[in-house]
């Protein structure tokens, strides 16, 4: 009932983790591989291992989360070695996330992936909001165009990009014009809403240490923004570019809404952090219940078919 076609593969359901959550170590990734998730993605990698920002750098909130992790990761070789080994054990592809600190670092990592025997899907994260001094790359349309031109001159494996949220129709138009020039497999909208500020009123204090308390917001707070981004790109991108919907998925109903907007796969970050891997079982069950109530037996019967008034 929840089978999903994505990047020419059939997944048992559209649910996966959002990169960064429950995917830093081999142990966590193995748990995802064994879970009810339809697929999983690795933590965004840089060439060298990184410790990330000082703690506390993540806070769970009633309506979501705030984080300023600062791209802690074990380095690309750790994740690539794991993916090369794991891909032999499973019949669906692994999603592999990279987030270089510069265009050259991204090119270097993509060259490595291209030359390797990796058979999965690569996600280029152009939207990390939390590295001090490094603006989110995909807010610069010309720089995004330039890096994609460099990449597609040599990279032949399936590639998606993780985007930050946009808030203006002119920006959706401009970014879609850039993306439509390239043979992207997918876009993933949205990364966390960058540089929010959560305050503990009792203590009159911020709740995370890095960047004076500023951090990426996820969870229920961001669902309307996430849905708008999925919908805006679904109605602007070439149909060959699929969409992963990420942002505010806490229930089967939220998942249904992302699918109605046109998403093909669905990533769960904040709620996975709160609930652990059993979340995938619950979301699958709840999505099936809604589909049954509405008389749908396949996602394709309603995917993208949001009605206007
Ligand atoms: O701080 C991070 O490691 C991080 N947090 C996010 O919310 N999104 C990211 O893309 C990211 C780093 C790549």
Q: What spacing in Å lies between the alpha carbon of 107 and ligand 1's midpoint?
A: 19
Number of Cβ within 10 Å of residue 108's Cβ equals 14
pLDDT in tens, 232-257: 999 999 999 999 999 999 999 999 99
- SS3 of 15, please? strand
Distance 128 CA to ligand 1 centre (A): 5
Rounded distance from Cα 303 to ligand 1 centre (Å): 28
Which is the closest atom of ligand 1 to the Cα of 216?
7
Q: What angle do the packed helices 223-234 and 252-261 form, to 10 degrees?
A: 30
Mean pLDDT by 10 residues, the chain (309 residues): 98 98 98 98 98 98 98 98 97 97 97 98 96 92 98 98 98 98 98 98 98 98 99 99 99 99 99 98 98 98 98
Q: Ligand 1: which of 44, 106, 208 to mutate, judged by most atoms within 8 Å of the beta carbon?
A: 44
So what's the pLDDT on residue 132?
87
Ligand 1 atom 10, closest CA: 128
Task: Kindly report the protein residue whose alpha carbon is nearest to atom 9 of ligand 1.
Answer: 128
The pLDDT of residue 175: 98
Q: Beta strands 15-17 and 265-268: pairing type?
A: parallel
Pocket test for ligand 1, best of 191, 198, 221, 248 (most atoms within 8 A of CB): 191
The values of phi and psi at residue 109, to 5°, are: -70, -40
- Residue 291 class from Cβ within 10 Å (0-12 exposed, 13-18 middle, 19+ buried)? buried
Enumerate residues 6+ apart whose C-beta is below 8 A from 212. 206
Atom 13 of ligand 1, nearest CA residue: 128
Residues tagged active-site: 127-128
Task: Tell me the CA–centroid distance for residue 300 and ligand 1, in Å.
Answer: 31
- The atom number, within ligand 1, closest to the CA of 127 reads 10
Can you read off the two tokens belonging to residue 71?
């791209």
Distance 212 CA to ligand 1 centre (A): 17
Q: Which residues line ligand 1 (CB under 6 A)?
A: 20, 44, 67-71, 99, 125, 127-130, 191-192, 216
Helix (H), strand (E) at residue 161 = strand 159-163
Torsion angle defined by CA atoms of residues 274, 275, 279 and 282, in that order, rounded to the nearest 10 degrees: -120
The pLDDT value given to residue 102 = 95
Orientation angle between helical segments 223-234 and 169-179, nearest 10 degrees = 50
Ligand 1 atom nearest to 192, measured from its CA: 7
The confidence score (pLDDT) of residue 58 equals 98
Q: Whose CA is nearest to atom 11 of ligand 1?
A: 128
């Amino acid at each position: 009932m929840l089978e999903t076609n994505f990047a020419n593969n059939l997944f048992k359901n559209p649910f996966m983790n959002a990169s960064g959550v429950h995917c830093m170590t081999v142990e966590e990734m193995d748990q995802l591989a064994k879970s009810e998730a339809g697929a999983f993605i690795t933590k965004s990698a840089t060439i060298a291992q990184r410790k990330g920002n000082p703690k506390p750098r993540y806070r769970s909130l009633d309506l979501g989360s705030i984080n300023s992790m600062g791209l802690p990761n074990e380095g690309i070789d750790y994740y690539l070695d794991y993916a090369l080994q794991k891909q032999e054990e499973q019949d669906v592809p692994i999603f592999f996330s990279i987030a270089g600190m510069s265009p050259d670092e991204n090119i270097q990592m993509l060259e490595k992936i291209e030359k390797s025997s990796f058979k999965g899907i690569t996600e280029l994260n152009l939207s990390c909001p939390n590295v001090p001094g490094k603006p989110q790359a995909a807010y610069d349309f010309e720089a995004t165009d330039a890096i994609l031109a460099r990449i597609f001159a040599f990279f032949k494996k399936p590639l998606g990009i993780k985007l930050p949220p946009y808030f203006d129709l002119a920006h959706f138009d401009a970014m879609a014009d850039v993306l439509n020039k390239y043979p992207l497999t997918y876009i993933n909208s949205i990364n966390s809403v960058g540089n929010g500020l959560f305050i503990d009123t009792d203590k009159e204090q911020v709740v995370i240490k890095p960047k004076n308390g500023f951090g990426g917001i996820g969870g229920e707070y961001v669902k309307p923004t996430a849905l708008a981004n999925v919908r805006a790109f679904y109605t602007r991108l070439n149909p060959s570019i699929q969409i992963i919907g990420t942002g505010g998925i806490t229930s089967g109903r939220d998942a249904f809404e992302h699918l109605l907007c046109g998403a093909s796969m669905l990533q769960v970050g904040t709620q996975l952090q709160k609930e652990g891997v059993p979340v995938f079982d619950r979301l699958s069950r709840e999505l099936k219940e809604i589909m049954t109530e509405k008389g749908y037996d396949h996602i394709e019967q309603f995917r993208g078919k949001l009605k206007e008034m």
